[in-house]
Structure 1
Amino acid sequence: MAILIRGGTVIDANETYRADVLCDDSASGGTIAQIGADLDAPAGATVIDAGGQYVMPGGIDPHTHMELPFMGTRASDDFYTGTAAGLSGGTTSIIDFVIPSPKQPLMGAFEEWRGWAEKAAADYGFHVAVTWWDESVHRDMGTLVHEHGVSSFKHFMAYKNAIMADDEVLVNSFMRSLELGALPTVHAENGELVFRLQRELLARGFTGPEAHPLSRPPEVEGEAANRAIRIAQVLGVPVYIVHVSAKDALDAIIRARSEGQRVFGEVLAGHLVIDESVYRDTDWGRAAAHVMSPPFRTQQHRDALWHGLQAGHLHTTATDHCVFCASQKAMGREDFTKIPNGCGGVEDRMSVLWHNGVNTGRLTPNEFVRVTSTNAAQIFNLYPRKGAVAVGADADLVVWDPEASKTISVKTHHQNVDFNVFEGMTVKGVATHTISRGNLAWANGDLRAQRGAGRYLKRPPNPAYFEAVRVANRLKEVEPVAR
């Protein structure tokens, strides 16, 4: 059934204008059919009155971990519950992570995740992590790019003795990514330093969540970010730094970009608004619920992140949505290093960013669209199919009421977890309707997400980034000196 959004103000990355938007139904592709003034509603169409509201591209969360097996347990939001929760908050697409175990073939892990994701209610793509290296990894990376539309690979510089990629793995994978036109992404924390600090803290009797940020100070993030960026510079490959939480890492990005290097930065909604004091909560459960890596930081770092987002040094906003219930977090009751790392946010990212970004004047509405949708679509080669209000684009749209408000609470959220890191925050600016490929998935508090309605998003390589890098960084063709 067609959907006509009538009387709203369209906001995309570059323009703001009054127009109606007509979406065709999913049977004929679920795309935007018309944009214009006073459009006629087709027979049987659903009409949404968007008077006084905004019509924007659906959010894209480029960093989630649905039903991730991790640290001896599994994230409690699966691909259905997690994407359904996202739809209720205006997020219509996610890019999740396939994370092979050490020595597990990349293709085997990818097939596992594809099976789990068949239940998704919204569209999804995958980054694939490179956690080890041999010739089979080199081969599987090519298969993933050419046959399955995976055009980004993840590298964990943390989690020693588990999935940490050392410099040899980084160099091999970055070089292979350059050959394939795929974008390397990096979790930047010095895993050796984290491991050493964890051991020292435990030896001194620090066993609770308050030790978590002490074991992962800003310097370990800054060092790893700088190292990954410089490796990418030498090899001539672009690089994307995920969940930048510290000024130290942001400074490394700014320095490299000022030198002409193609570096992208991502920031989490939580890192923009939550203070590290949460780890000193006298209630162990509340403190443990905030354990994620990198950890939440001080006001100094949060201010720097906002400035980086405003200045365009940080390009995307994400959540790193990876939720564990209280009983799972309790696995680390006697040892903070065993608390499963992860927090939520896929449902609340858009409202938290609008309230703390647009309502404070830090971001314009157009900039909000860029950092919640369009930039991710462009960097990960989904644009203009995603991230745009344009004829022919996927009908992934959110109708946004800038005057409506809600108080975030575990009692009313749709995420499958018994804690919310934004608990008690009142936000002004919410999604009243979410349309996913022409289907009405959220309407004034009524969640209509359909299990299995999401489709897999193939993302071919983006040659524009790589040709520029090759031209700028090609080794000079010189002859060896004859002696």
Structure 2
Amino acid sequence: VGDDVIVLDASGKFVMPGGIDPHTHLAMDCMDFMSTQTVDDFFSGQAATLAGGTSMHVDFVTPVNGNLMAAFQAYQNKAKVSCMDYGFHMVITKLDDVVSRDMEIMVKEHCINSFKFFMAYKGALMASDDLLLEGLKRCKSLGALAMVHAENGDVVVEGQKKMIELGITGPEGHALSRPPVLEGEATARAIRLASFVNTPLYVVHVMSIDALEEVTKARKSGFIEMFNISQFCLLSINDTIVVLIYYLRILVIVGWVGLGYTSKDSAPKSPTPSPKSVMETDNVGIEERMHLVWDTMVESGQISATDYVRLTGTEWIFNIYPRKGAILAGSDADIIILNPNSSFEISSSSHHSRIDTNIYEGWRGKGKVEVTIAGGRVVWENDELKVVPGSGKYIEMPPFSYLFNGIEKADARHLSSLRALVKRSNS
């Protein structure tokens, strides 16, 4: 170690790898299906992320008209202002020979190892069952992780019509239009299709007990899939804070390994919003998630600090360990210092997102990230950001993570059993 070093006092504090948020939407144009666009770009959103102790995120590339190549380049251009490391998932809205070829290019040339399918947003992003099935098969052949937004999109449309008829057009209408049974049904359907194909599945933002029960049942049966639960589960529709400690603990017991949070900051393009039938999903999350999980889970005694590190990082799932998620020689030096005795209060007046509201307004808790180091640079200290546009790097995520271990052997056993069955029936 040379003389040109920075000494940080971590006495009585936890030194741990920075978090990895696998589910963000920055600089996303949602005009095609929500009449909105996200207010945070890759610089402002990432600055907020670093202030919260997350040192890498994986954003969703959403193609227009299914053009994967153009979408990837467009998002790379958006990310030129990045101040932290990032990766990409790719959304699939149609699947033909061109898209299938481009999926292979994304995996082999750009190291994108995950593709997302929406089972909601009918008429815009929604994938039919046959598209989802073909997509699962294609993901398996490429060693890429299939991801699903699991809601019954057809029935959600009916729920939305009902809310409009009843005059329920506030934020509560969003939840009431899609009761838990619709998420549970779609989750079960996605799991069964993935099981039929025998490929890993990642169910994004699990929001209900119905969906959680389906995931838990699948995991107990030995079918491997990942899922993440949104911290919005910590809030109820009537603004009363409901800390779902019991249900979160269930996730830990069944082997909760994919903890990620949606951070979709939406705002109208025009200063004067036009009337709309579907409420926009304005919210925050990327800055708050590390503090909320510590406060609700570690501070309450439900999980250990070691569990916290495991749950707030997804490096194994996306095949980037030990570059990320580790404090080792040769790793990227993404490190945080968390003071378990320091208090925090969430407020729109002090958060670092451009959005002017915060659904966690007034939340007070313990366990504060006091220092964030990204790539060996101190970027958050003394409640001050020290970020530089363009300093973030695109992180390649190779295919065939550990989730694919044993799949070929399982397929071979299944094929052998089918042949044996045919042989017996013909004899």
Q: What TM-score, normalized to structure 2?
A: 0.93
Q: Which stretch has the larger CA shift, 143-152 or 211-220?
A: 211-220
* CA distance, structure 2, for counterparts of residue 463 and residue 241 of structure 1: 17
2:84 to 118, 122, 132: 122
* CA distance, structure 1, for counterparts of residue 22 and residue 395 of structure 2: 12
How far did 1:169 drift? 1.1
- Which amino acid letter does the alignment assign opposite residue 343 of structure 1? N
- Cα 1:45–1:263 shift into 2, 3 Å: same
How far did 1:324 drift? 2.5
How far did 1:318 drift? 2.2
Q: Which runs of 5+ in 1 are unaligned?
A: 1-40, 282-297
Q: Secondary structure at the match of 1:219?
A: helix
1:97 to 60, 66, 72: 60
Q: Superposition pairs for residues 283-432 of structure 1, below 5 Å?
A: 302-303=244-245, 305-325=247-267, 331=273, 334-337=275-278, 339-373=279-313, 376-432=314-370
- Which amino acid letter does the alignment assign opposite residue 321 of structure 2? Y
How far did 1:308 drift? 2.9
Residue in structure 1 matched with residue 238 of structure 2 by the alignment: 277
Does the CA-based 8 Å contact 2:17-2:336 persist in structure 1? Answer: yes
Q: Secondary structure at the match of 2:406?
A: helix
CA RMSD of aligned residues (A): 2.0
Matched, 1:476 2:418: no
- Cα 1:327–1:209 shift into 2, 3 Å: farther
Query: Could you list the per-position Cα deviations for residues 357-416 of structure 1 after superposition, in whole angstroms to 9, with x for gaps in the alignment?
Result: 10001111000001111xx10001111111112222110000111111121111111111
Matched, 1:74 2:37: yes
Matched, 1:49 2:9: yes
Which ranges of 4 or more aligned residues in structure 1 deviate by more than 3 Å?
302-305, 325-332, 479-483
2:22 to 62, 65, 69: 62
Does the CA-based 8 Å contact 1:351-1:429 persist in structure 2? Answer: yes
- Which amino acid letter does the alignment assign opposite residue 258 of structure 1? K
* CA distance, structure 2, for counterparts of residue 408 and residue 205 of structure 1: 32
Q: Which runs of 5+ in 2 are unaligned?
A: none
* CA distance, structure 2, for counterparts of residue 432 and residue 267 of structure 1: 25
How far did 1:205 drift? 3.1
Q: Superposition pairs for residues 57-206 of structure 1, below 5 Å?
A: 57-70=17-30, 71-101=34-64, 103-206=65-168
* CA distance, structure 2, for counterparts of residue 141 and residue 372 of structure 1: 28
* CA distance, structure 1, for counterparts of residue 198 and residue 150 of structure 2: 19
Q: Secondary structure at the match of 1:48?
A: coil
Q: Secondary structure at the match of 1:316?
A: coil
- Cα 1:327–1:196 shift into 2, 3 Å: same
How far did 1:299 drift? 5.0
Q: Secondary structure at the match of 1:476?
A: helix
Does the CA-based 8 Å contact 2:267-2:282 persist in structure 1? Answer: no
How far did 1:445 drift? 1.1
- Cα 1:204–1:325 shift into 2, 3 Å: closer
Q: Secondary structure at the match of 1:224?
A: helix
Does the CA-based 8 Å contact 1:315-1:371 persist in structure 2? Answer: yes
How far did 1:219 drift? 0.5
- Which amino acid letter does the alignment assign opposite residue 89 of structure 1? G
Does the CA-based 8 Å contact 2:36-2:267 persist in structure 1? Answer: no
- Cα 1:468–1:447 shift into 2, 3 Å: same
- Which amino acid letter does the alignment assign opposite residue 471 of structure 1? K
Does the CA-based 8 Å contact 2:316-2:401 persist in structure 1? Answer: no
* CA distance, structure 2, for counterparts of residue 327 and residue 307 of structure 1: 40
Query: Could you list the per-position Cα deviations for residues 162-199 of structure 1 after superposition, in whole angstroms to 9, with x for gaps in the alignment?
Result: 11111111011110000000000111111001011111
Residue in structure 2 matched with residue 442 of structure 1 by the alignment: 380
Residue in structure 1 matched with residue 205 of structure 2 by the alignment: 243
Query: Could you list the per-position Cα deviations for residues 7-33 of structure 1 after superposition, in whole angstroms to 9, with x for gaps in the alignment?
Result: xxxxxxxxxxxxxxxxxxxxxxxxxxx
Does the CA-based 8 Å contact 2:258-2:317 persist in structure 1? Answer: no
